[in-house]
């Protein structure tokens, strides 16, 4: 039996039902439902051929070509199905049309209970867009570069706070140096899909901590609806001494090859100025990382302070930090927020 399923139902099923994305590999790579398995009914080349025939010849010609390709692959599809150890299977394509129909009937023919996503992946993307528009109980963790905000978020998570790590989802640490040590960034669609997956697992009856971010994390843009909330909601601005921030950055970056650090410096050389760029690169080459980071922070601190000044002052709460550990900072943040509950 094939059941036509809406996005909400499909997501509930996903905990114990394999989700099969039958689109081409490049479509899947560009963006897919979190946890979906790609069983492409057509390769990228085949998909292009069929699309061309549809546009330049006729729907019937394209359909005949598609059926011919599928007929040659039936054994392959049956072998893939046999490896899926579940009586229930969910399936989707782009719009919930020919491709998911064909695969759903094939799954059904071998005794599977099939759920087909109504409207396909396109409806899932529309669902995400609407989801992001709702209000979230965000609290933003701010602080100048080197404040170890990401590590503090994870300390908060250990203390039963809800946390979203945007930089991890984006595979980028958010500055000119942010790609160092990270895997290549995913597509914008997949970043949004993964952010949706992370958010929808949380309860909106409790606060959700995010790090203060620019609109762009590397080459990926934070969804507009989410970014508007990040910029308009309450931010806890950590004031951490510069020497400690330099020490944090030395621990986080100086084990990488200097060529990567110098390349990052050159990418922001126009903003740093010619003299500062030279001084920073000279210091890196001499392994004088303290001096290099000290100069770089002069630029990043001004940039952060400018961004903070653009916020409504009533939403900015400053917490001065001395030499406490990240665990202690997280504990103090919780106390601080609870004590300012009426204002936050």
Q: Indicate whether 207 belongs to any domain.
A: yes
Residue 344: its pLDDT value, please? 65
Query: Can you read off the two tokens belonging to residue 297?
Result: 């922070």
Token pair listed for 7: 């996005």
CATH number of the domain encompassing residue 52: 3.40.250.10
Residues 53 and 201 in one domain: no
Residue 142 pairs in a beta bridge with: 237
Beta carbons within 8 Å of 234's beta carbon, 6+ residues apart: 138, 139, 140, 315, 316, 317, 343, 344
Same-domain status, 6 and 21: yes
Q: Select from 113, 129, 145 the last residue of a domain.
A: 129
CB 103 within 8 A of CB 20: yes
Residue with tokens 């782009």: 94
Angle between helices 98-109 and 59-82 (to 10 degrees): 40
Query: Nearest to residue 132, comparing CAs of 171, 162, 164?
Result: 164
Confidence at residue 78, expressed as pLDDT on a 0 to 100 scale: 83
Distant-in-sequence, close-in-space partners of 150: CB < 8 Å, separation ≥ 6: 165, 167, 168, 173, 211
Take residue 300 and report the two structure tokens written for it.
Answer: 């990043």
Q: What is the mean pLDDT of each run of 10 residues along the chain (344 residues)?
A: 92 90 96 94 90 83 83 83 87 91 87 94 97 96 95 97 97 89 94 97 96 94 97 95 95 92 94 94 96 95 90 91 89 90 68
Whether residues 216 and 323 share a domain: the answer is yes
Structure tokens at 42: 């057509």
Q: Beta strands 216-217 and 220-221: pairing type?
A: antiparallel
Alpha helices in 83-180 (DSSP H): 98-109, 120-132, 149-158, 166-170
Which structure tokens are listed for 287?
């392994």
The contacts of residue 138 (CB under 8 Å, 6+ apart) are 207, 208, 209, 210, 229, 230, 233, 234
Q: Which three-class secondary structure state does DSSP give residue 44?
A: helix
pLDDT at 123: 97
Do the Cβ atoms of 226 and 132 come closer than 8 Å?
yes
| Cα within 13 Å of Cα(76), Cβ side | 9
**What residues make up the domain containing 166?**
135-339
181 inside domain: yes
For residue 249, being part of any structural domain is answered with yes
Same domain, 66 and 170: no
Would you say 141 and 211 are in contact if contact means Cβ atoms under 8 Å apart? yes
Using CA atoms of 279, 285, 286, 289 in order, give the dihedral in degrees to the nearest 10.
70
Tokens of 139: 């609290």
Looking at the structure, tell me whether residues 75 and 206 fall in a common domain. no
Tell which of 85, 101, 129 closes a domain.
129
pTM over 0.85: yes
Containing 89, the helix (H) or strand (E) segment is: strand 88-92
In the Cβ-directed half-sphere of 207, how many Cα atoms lie within 13 Å? 21
Q: How many CA atoms lie less than 13 Å away from 263 in the CB half-sphere? A: 9
């Amino acid at each position: 039996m094939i059941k036509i399923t809406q996005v909400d139902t499909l997501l509930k099923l996903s905990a114990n039902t394999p989700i099969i994305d039958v689109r081409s590999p490049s479509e899947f790579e560009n963006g897919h439902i979190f946890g979906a398995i790609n069983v492409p009914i057509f390769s990228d080349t085949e998909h292009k051929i069929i699309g061309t025939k549809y546009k330049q010849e006729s729907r019937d010609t394209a359909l005949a070509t598609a059926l011919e390709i599928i007929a040659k692959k039936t054994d392959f599809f049956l072998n893939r199905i046999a490896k899926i150890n579940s009586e229930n299977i969910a399936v989707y394509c782009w719009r919930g049309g020919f491709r998911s129909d064909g695969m759903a009937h094939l799954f059904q023919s071998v005794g599977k209970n099939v759920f087909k996503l109504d409207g396909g992946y396109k409806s899932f993307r529309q669902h995400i867009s609407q989801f992001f528009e709702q209000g979230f109980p965000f609290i933003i963790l701010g602080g100048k570069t080197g404040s170890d905000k990401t590590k503090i978020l994870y300390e908060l998570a250990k203390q039963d706070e809800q946390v979203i790590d945007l930089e991890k989802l984006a595979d980028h640490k958010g500055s000119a140096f942010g790609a160092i040590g990270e895997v290549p960034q995913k597509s914008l669609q997949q970043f949004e899909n993964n952010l949706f997956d992370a958010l929808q697992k949380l309860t909106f009856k409790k606060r959700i901590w995010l790090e203060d971010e620019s609109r762009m994390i590397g080459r990926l843009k934070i969804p507009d609806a989410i970014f508007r909330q990040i910029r308009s909601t309450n931010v806890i601005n950590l004031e951490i001494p510069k020497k400690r921030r330099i020490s944090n950055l030395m621990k986080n970056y100086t084990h990488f090859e200097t060529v990567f650090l110098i390349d990052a410096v050159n990418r922001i050389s126009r903003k740093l100025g010619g003299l500062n760029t030279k001084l920073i690169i000279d210091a890196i080459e001499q392994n004088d990382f303290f001096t290099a980071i000290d100069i770089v922070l002069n630029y990043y601190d001004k940039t952060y302070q400018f961004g903070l000044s653009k916020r409504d002052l009533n939403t900015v709460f400053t917490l001065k930090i001395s030499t406490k550990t990240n665990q202690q900072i997280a504990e103090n943040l919780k106390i601080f927020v609870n004590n300012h509950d009426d204002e936050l």
